[in-house]
Amino acid sequence: MAKKLSVSFLWHMHQPYYRDDLSGEIIMPWVFLHAIKDYYDMPWYLEKFPKIKATFNLVPSLLVQLGAYEDPLVNDKFLKTLRKPVDKLTKREREYLIEYLFFSNEHNMIKPLPRYHELFLKKENFSDSELIDLETLFILAWCGNYLRKEKEVIKRLIKKGRGFTQEDKIELLNVLSIFIKEIIAYYKKLSDSRQIEISTTPFNHPISPLLFDIENGKLANPNTTLPKYSGNFKEDALLQIDSSITYYKELFGKKAEGFWPAEGSVSYNFLKTLSDKGIKWACSDQEVLYKSGHFSKEDIYKNNILHFQDKSINLFFRDRELSDLIGFNYSAWDDESATNDFLSRLRDIYESSDSCLNVNVILDGENAWEHYSDNAQGFFQKLYSKIEEADWLECKLFDEVATDAKIASNDLHELEPGSWINGNFNIWIGHSEKNSAWEMLFQTKEDFEKLQKNLSDERIKKIKNEFLIAQSSDWFWWYGDDHHTDLASTFDTLFRTHLMNIYTLMDKKIPANILKPIVQTKSGNDNFIKHSTNRITAKLDGKISHFYEWLGCGEAQLSHELSSMSMQDFTVSKIYFGCDKKHCFVALIGDFSKLFESGVLEIEFSNGIKASLPIAKTLQHNELGIRYITDEIMEIEMEKALIEKSSLGFKLFNDGKLLQLLPLYSKIEFDCLKEIRKNWYI
């Protein structure tokens, strides 16, 4: 039989657990919003193409929250406030709503609804009629393509466009509540037809290797500073696994076969436990395989089998480049170019080996699509149709790959601990804020163990559940300085609330340190963008020539925009920019040493102009009058007239393939006559 390349997609569906179980209130509405935009649309895109298969990883703590939204009167703080007539809202409630009502992608969600964009530009001092329009349009903007095509209420309200009533808003929310009941049934249907496979994760999305043994943090990276601790959470790690397996069987009527461990975090003992419990396959990142002594890229495309004494488990390692291109880059491309690029990369893999191989494309299944036009529907239509047309390519589910003797296999007998980010756990442990959270967990566990014998079985059960929720990776993600969100303090409060709940359930005074926020108040300079405070005149030599050359410039810390990425995967880590009276200057800070023969920087202006700048060590002039040079850094000079009233974005290519989009989800906007006019946004 002719050689074929197979590709296994895994779309990971997950949100933090936003509910305070003691009060019953859901603190943030993101499960609801992604439910109406992504959880149905993603399998719906796929169902239209019979030859396309994919795995959907549904985290149990997400599914529990989805169930809550089937009640139209769900105890969600945002939705309860949204349901109130606008003339009954307090000043504080209006401010609270407005904080959320612009959490939509400006280009792809706000601008397509003219009234929403009109209110976006106004920003404040909304009348009652404007506010009810804003409330309704926010929800409509989050409605996915299935809803826009199939639900008459959504179609009618989008056509209406403005002048909404309280009745319109309540009718919309009620229709969406009924719709949410369809989501899990839809996954069951596609799973039963074998077009999709459903995998799972330890119940509350913890970093399981750290629960098994927190020393795995240091094993994965010897430079990691561990928190002060005593004891361990191995018993909780087992409970997270067992409760996930049980819940899956209750919900889907069959046993789970595969796991995407939270954040692709694995260790030998954790995977052995999964195998002992009958789990047949799991996934992680290519970096973990490389760290474990397998340095051939082809090895990540094999059916890797990790052997224990009497059992084994199939392991699938994600192709980082292909996965991240979909998650972080192709949103800036047109659908045809993005699809062709993806297929060409698959073709390169196909032609590189005489063996049948399997490429694992594993990524977040919900957060990227608002950065694509039309919620990525056009992209997926082109991608799936081209895969179906390719006679050398096919889609496979992971359980099919595991039993396909034609696909090359690879036996593993040991595995280093690690995750999908840098092959270590430093996103969740090591920083002082992250370690403070771990130390609070251990402190609370120690206090609980002293008092447990005096507590009823019912209270112990509730306390253990609070511990499981507090172990979620999500809280640790937002601590420290590697990721940025304006809602970091809210996530901090949620984490500590679960620990406070444990003390409440034990009838004990909450310790003062747990009442105190972990997140430190960030100054404006700690955010994604720092404004210019000086006029800048750069000497074009590809170096920071002296201390004062870029002093007071604007600065974009790209790592703060990358809420899910490692900067080691990119060439450029930050952007400097500024103006003098005649020119605007940009400096890209990074390592360009491998790009002098084949690298190109493309500048995209929002007015449609593009400039292509081959990376060169000598001073270059292009036809638009742009001057630039690259050495230790890349420095660019442009006439103010070229970029006035225009925003800028950059693409960095090597050998014709995209390396980096700069910035990922934003553009540089500045008025050259008045310095920087407008803040960047994420």
Here the CATH number for the domain that contains residue 555 is 2.60.40
> Is residue 464 domain-shared with residue 499, that is, in the same domain?
yes
Instruction: Say which residue the tokens 């490692």 belong to.
Output: 566
Of 495, 522, 549, which residue constitutes the final position of a domain? 522
> Is residue 476 domain-shared with residue 563, that is, in the same domain?
no
> Is residue 656 domain-shared with residue 623, that is, in the same domain?
yes
Instruction: Say which residue the tokens 């304006």 belong to.
Output: 486
When divided into structural domains, the chain yields a total of 2
* CA distances from residue 158 to 77, 127, 533 in whole angstroms, order as listed: 25, 21, 43
> Is residue 542 domain-shared with residue 599, that is, in the same domain?
yes
Does 638 fall in a domain?
A: yes
Which pLDDT score, from 0 to 100, does residue 662 have?
Answer: 83
Dihedral-angle region of residue 334 (phi above 0 means left; psi in -120 to 50 means alpha; beta otherwise)? beta
> Is residue 627 domain-shared with residue 532, that is, in the same domain?
yes
N-to-C CA span, the chain: 49
> Is residue 555 domain-shared with residue 647, that is, in the same domain?
yes
Does 131 fall in a domain?
A: no
Does 454 fall in a domain?
A: yes
Query: Hey, what are 375's tokens?
Result: 């919620």
* Residue of 307, 197, 318 whose CA lies nearest to 256: 197
Long-range contacts of the stretch 543-547 (C-beta < 8 A, 24+): 543/631, 543/632, 543/633, 544/587, 544/632, 544/633
Q: Are 16 and 470 in contact (CB under 8 A)?
A: no
676 pLDDT more than 70:
no
565 pLDDT more than 70:
no
> Is residue 460 domain-shared with residue 544, that is, in the same domain?
no
Which pLDDT score, from 0 to 100, does residue 277 have?
Answer: 98
Banded pLDDT at 564 (limits 50, 70, 90): very low
Q: Are 19 and 25 in contact (CB under 8 A)?
A: yes
Burial class (CB in 10 A: 0-12, 13-18, 19+), 462: middle
Which pLDDT score, from 0 to 100, does residue 665 have?
Answer: 61
Q: Give the H/E segment covering residue 166.
A: helix 166-192
More confident residue, 532 or 149: 149
| CA dihedral over 24, 29, 30, 33, signed as positive or negative | positive
CA 649/CA 47 separation, integer angstroms: 35
Banded pLDDT at 544 (limits 50, 70, 90): confident
Does 19 fall in a domain?
A: no
CA 553/CA 575 separation, integer angstroms: 10
Which pLDDT score, from 0 to 100, does residue 579 have?
Answer: 84
Number of neighbouring beta carbons within 10 Å of residue 210: 28
Phi then psi for residue 646, to 5 deg, are: -130, 150
> Is residue 531 domain-shared with residue 437, that is, in the same domain?
no
Range of the domain at 436: 432-522
Instruction: Say which residue the tokens 């349901």 belong to.
Output: 83
635 forms beta bridges with 587, 629
Q: What is the DSSP letter of 578?
A: E
Banded pLDDT at 670 (limits 50, 70, 90): low
CA 534/CA 270 separation, integer angstroms: 53
* CA distances from residue 279 to 255, 312, 397, 414, 473 in whole angstroms, order as listed: 9, 9, 15, 18, 22
> Is residue 517 domain-shared with residue 532, that is, in the same domain?
no
Instruction: Say which residue the tokens 């406070």 belong to.
Output: 500
> Is residue 540 domain-shared with residue 645, that is, in the same domain?
yes
Does 437 fall in a domain?
A: yes
Does 315 fall in a domain?
A: no
Query: Hey, what are 567's tokens?
Result: 């900067």
Of 522, 548, 581, which residue constitutes the final position of a domain? 522
CA 241/CA 265 separation, integer angstroms: 14
Which pLDDT score, from 0 to 100, does residue 682 have?
Answer: 19
Please give the single-letter amino acid code of residue 376: A
Which pLDDT score, from 0 to 100, does residue 528 have?
Answer: 55
More confident residue, 296 or 161: 161
> Is residue 457 domain-shared with residue 550, that is, in the same domain?
no
Please give the single-letter amino acid code of residue 107: H
> Is residue 545 domain-shared with residue 621, that is, in the same domain?
yes
529 pLDDT more than 70:
no
Percent of the chain with pLDDT over 70: 93
Banded pLDDT at 363 (limits 50, 70, 90): very high
Does 438 fall in a domain?
A: yes
* Residue of 445, 436, 565 whose CA lies nearest to 492: 436
* Residue of 547, 623, 545, 544 whose CA lies nearest to 589: 544
Which pLDDT score, from 0 to 100, does residue 673 have?
Answer: 36
More confident residue, 680 or 111: 111
CA 371/CA 379 separation, integer angstroms: 12
As a whole number of Å, the CA-based R_g of the chain is 26
Of 489, 522, 555, which residue constitutes the final position of a domain? 522
Does 193 fall in a domain?
A: no
